[in-house]
Amino acid sequence: MKEFMYTVKDEQGIHARPAGMLAKEAKKYESKITIYKDEKSAEVTRLMALMALGIKCGQEVRVTAEGPDEEAAADGIKAFLEANL
């Protein structure tokens, strides 16, 4: 399992449009990608669950990738977050 921490920089946090883009990005990988905020978590491919976390600007989240392409998945999702959120 690969994991990393990320602080959200988007002023609106993870809202509908970037959440949809993030879910689409995550579907490119076979690995299960999960995002954690405090004690809550959601699979990144589940749009409504991802939005339900209510992640705001400045909050730190933990992201894990577990599966056959976990290294590529973690790197890809981290790059996506840095570019978009």
Q: Point out the residues that are catalytic.
A: 15
| Cα–Cα distance for residue pair 36/23, rounded to 1 Å | 15
The runs of H, that is alpha helices, within 1-85 are 16-26, 47-52, 70-84
CB 12 within 8 A of CB 83: no
| Cα–Cα distance for residue pair 15/20, rounded to 1 Å | 9
